[in-house]
Amino acid sequence: MLEWGMINTKHAKLKAWVDEVAGICTPDAVVWVDGSEAEKKRLEKRGVARGQLLPLDPEKFPGCFYSRSKPNDVARTEHLTYICTKDKEAVGPTNNWMSPEEGYRKAREILKGSMVGHTLYVIPFSMGPVGSPFSKIGVELTDSIYVVLNMRIMTRIGQPVLDQLGTDGEFVKCLHSKADLDVNKRMILHFPEDNTIWSVGSAYGGNALLGKKCLALRIASWQARKEGWMAEHMLILGVEQNGRTEYVVAAFPSACGKTNLAMLIPPEGLKGKGYKIWTVGDDIAWLRVGPDGRLWACNPEAGFFGVAVGTNSKSNPNAIKTVQKNTIFTNVLLGDDLSVWWEDGEGAPPSSGTNWEGKPWKPDFKDKDGKPLLGAHPNSRFTAPAGQCPSIASNWEDPKGVPISAIIFGGRRERLAPLVFESLDWNHGVYVGATVASERTAAQTGKVGEVRRDPMAMLPFCGYNMGDYFGHWIAMGAKIPKPPKIFHVNWFRKDATGKFLWPGYGENLRVLEWILARARGEGKADQTPIGWLPAKDALDLSGLNLPAGALDQLLSVKPEEWTAELEGVKAFFDQFGAKLPKELAKQFEALKERLKTKVAA
Ligand code: GTP
Ligand code: SPV
Ligand code: MN
């Protein structure tokens, strides 16, 4: 078999595994990815020649490519995502389970000969800086050039990783094949007991870039529980003022504002306060207890795989600047002038182009229901190197990570959840995280808008029984001598006419400001049954001009609505049976009592 690229490794197990997979998938060639610039150019050329990539206008978008996936392959498919363990209980009621035997057998059927006529690429990658004691190494075998080029941006790849692995280093075995991209033969399988991931039949980001959700969350969460740390679906950002920088992490469900918050630009009204915001990560945080007794966070990724639709120089100027070069755009509108565009994007759309489905597109075109024909899919994405972000923190690759002052949970709730509240203590904060609910977005297939429970924004990403996961959160609290405070935010509350009550985006710094003050033991707050809310004048709203009554609505807590919410929480918790930590049942009862007292008062 043709071997292309240098195989500079003496790792016998790795080589044997590559041979074994090549034996199943029977590619025409095996290529070891070294991560060099020359290799990148070669791959881009090949991708273009095979019609998988299109170079954009080199003047306007240097180093950028366009890619379109199949219309039925544009989001994560949670119903086709499995955790395969010996014991079904290990994955719990919120994950799909399959036995490892069945998983391997079914996927092997699809993988057999799936790479005939294609090349198998071997991508050694590191989640976290190469060589950091906190990093985890994976090797992804894939038949997709798109995957190789995306992994090159999202992770650290190539020879340095092989060097780090040495002759017998541990790695996660990641196998990906597009196969025939048939949704009926699509499976995203995780074998945490074997340190293995097999993904077949999809080329969409979260299903195919196996370092991201599959390794850095599902497999890592399993390892983290065993090893005493945390793998979370969180952004990491630093807030600098007067020479001091404080860091927060925030867990919001997919397409609920992590990238936006991570790259926030201080709003006009707070300009005089001299804030600077530093981006450390926009999607995943690995958290450990540091020698100083605080919780420290690292971003295991090296790039951003961000939602394109809605990104413009008003909502997220730093993201717009980040994607001007060396970026891969997936499922956006391709202009005939080799430009890209998306709804609520930047500038005027091109006069004509091809939309995400490959259909001819002009600004006035309508779909079959008479609605404007979408240029970009709502879950269209950009893949861009983190280092290109103007707000990237100078210490974003520090293997120690950054010390965390506050943990923020949030969801997309039209009603109920106030703009912000602070939990009473760590265990109550875990309850708040465990009961997050959010309206579904386009980031996963399914009905958009429906409210579902998404604890810690990890529902689709926790690699084991969520009852045990809640227990792990409780246990971690006891192990952190100086724990961060835990908050909940909601940027998405609406008024009676369906308009957002809070302007969001940069203005969210006003909420962060209060959160950080509270974390320091400052900032005024009023106690309510659900936790501490900002006192009437505690948020700095200078220059904001909120409509009359908006702030009252944003900060209102109606005990009867929260009492009604308890029903859904109970049903959700009941699924876990004996796995639900007693502490959470206690928190539930305590909240119920506090709500009663308040109603009576
Ligand atoms: P994943 O990459 O899927 O994990 O998502 P993410 O959490 O990084 O999502 P992102 O920041 O890309 O959020 C995208 C969606 O949230 C877009 O529809 C934005 O318009 C919307 N959004 C982000 N921040 C705000 C905000 O402060 N207010 C409002 N109303 N919408 C927001
Ligand atoms: C998400 O859906 O939460 C994402 C995109 O960040 S993906 O990597 O596709 O999961
Ligand atoms: Mn995400």
Residue bearing the CA closest to ligand 2, atom 5 = 206
CA distance linking residue 302 with residue 161, whole number of Å:
14
Query: Is the CB–ligand 1 distance for residue 505 below 6 Å?
Result: yes
Read off the pLDDT band of 384 (50, 70, 90): very high
530: nearest Cα among 424, 601, 452: 424
Three-state secondary structure of 86-107: CCHHHCCCCCEEECHHHHHHHH
- Do the Cβ atoms of 473 and 231 come closer than 8 Å? no
291: nearest Cα among 403, 393, 165: 403
Is the pLDDT at 187 greater than 60? The verdict is: yes
Ligand found nearest the CA of 209: 2
Read off the pLDDT band of 600 (50, 70, 90): very low
What is the 558 CA–ligand 3 centroid distance (Å)?
A: 31
Our answer to whether residue 256 is catalytic in this structure is: yes
Ligand found nearest the CA of 256: 1
CA distance linking residue 528 with residue 597, whole number of Å:
11
Residue bearing the CA closest to ligand 2, atom 9 = 206
What is the 300 CA–ligand 3 centroid distance (Å)?
A: 13
Per-residue model confidence as pLDDT tens digits over 153-175:
999 999 999 999 999 999 999 99
What is the 448 CA–ligand 1 centroid distance (Å)?
A: 14
pLDDT at 450: 81
Query: Is the CB–ligand 1 distance for residue 256 below 6 Å?
Result: yes
CA distance linking residue 597 with residue 354, whole number of Å:
59
What length is written for the chain? 601
Burial class (CB in 10 A: 0-12, 13-18, 19+), 38: exposed
> What average pLDDT score do residues 376-391 get?
97
**Which of 100-109, 137-146, 448-457 shows the lowest mean pLDDT across its residues?**
448-457
Read off the pLDDT band of 6 (50, 70, 90): low
What is the 192 CA–ligand 1 centroid distance (Å)?
A: 30
> What average pLDDT score do residues 21-45 get?
96
Query: Is the CB–ligand 1 distance for residue 255 below 6 Å?
Result: yes
Per-residue model confidence as pLDDT tens digits over 477-509:
999 999 999 999 999 999 999 999 999 999 999
What is the 256 CA–ligand 1 centroid distance (Å)?
A: 4
CA distance linking residue 491 with residue 446, whole number of Å:
23
Is the pLDDT at 117 greater than 60? The verdict is: yes
Is the pLDDT at 449 greater than 80? The verdict is: no
**Cα dihedral sign, 190-570-428-533:** positive
Query: Is the CB–ligand 1 distance for residue 310 below 6 Å?
Result: yes
- Do the Cβ atoms of 586 and 474 come closer than 8 Å? no
| 153-171 core/surface letters (b: 16 or more CB in 10 A; e: else) | bbbbbbbebbebbeeeeeb
Q: Residue 235: CB partners within 8 Å, gap ≥ 6? A: 249, 250, 252, 258, 259, 261, 262, 281, 282, 283, 285
Per the DSSP assignment, residues forming a β-bridge with 421 are 488
Per-residue model confidence as pLDDT tens digits over 583-595:
999 999 999 999 9
> What average pLDDT score do residues 324-329 get?
98
598: nearest Cα among 496, 513, 528: 528
Strands ordered across the beta sheet of 340-341: 340-341, 333-335, 353-354, 360-361
Residue bearing the CA closest to ligand 2, atom 3 = 254
Read off the pLDDT band of 7 (50, 70, 90): confident
- Residue identified by tokens 């003047």 is 59
Is the pLDDT at 1 greater than 70? The verdict is: no
Q: Which two tokens mark 519?
A: 């974390």
User: Of all atoms in ligand 1, which is nearest to the CA of residue 235?
Assistant: 8
Ligand found nearest the CA of 307: 1
The letter for the amino acid at 172 is V
Per-residue model confidence as pLDDT tens digits over 397-421:
999 999 999 999 999 999 999 999 9
Identified catalytic residue from 256, 298, 389, 462:
256
pLDDT at 597: 84
* Higher pLDDT among residues 442 and 223, named by residue: 223
The letter for the amino acid at 234 is M
What is the 592 CA–ligand 2 centroid distance (Å)?
A: 35
Is the pLDDT at 456 greater than 60? The verdict is: yes
Domains of the chain (ranges, CATH numbers): 12-32+77-227 (3.40.449.10), 232-299+396-594 (3.90.228.20), 304-386 (2.170.8.10)
Read off the pLDDT band of 512 (50, 70, 90): very high
409: nearest Cα among 300, 489, 313, 494: 489
- Do the Cβ atoms of 105 and 90 come closer than 8 Å? no
User: Of all atoms in ligand 1, which is nearest to the CA of residue 492?
Assistant: 30
The letter for the amino acid at 245 is T
Is the pLDDT at 459 greater than 60? The verdict is: yes
> What average pLDDT score do residues 226-244 get?
98
Among left, alpha and beta (phi > 0; psi -120 to 50; other), residue 306 is beta
Residue bearing the CA closest to ligand 1, atom 5 = 255
Ligand 2: lining residues by beta carbon, under 6 Å: 76, 205-206, 212-213, 254, 283, 305, 443
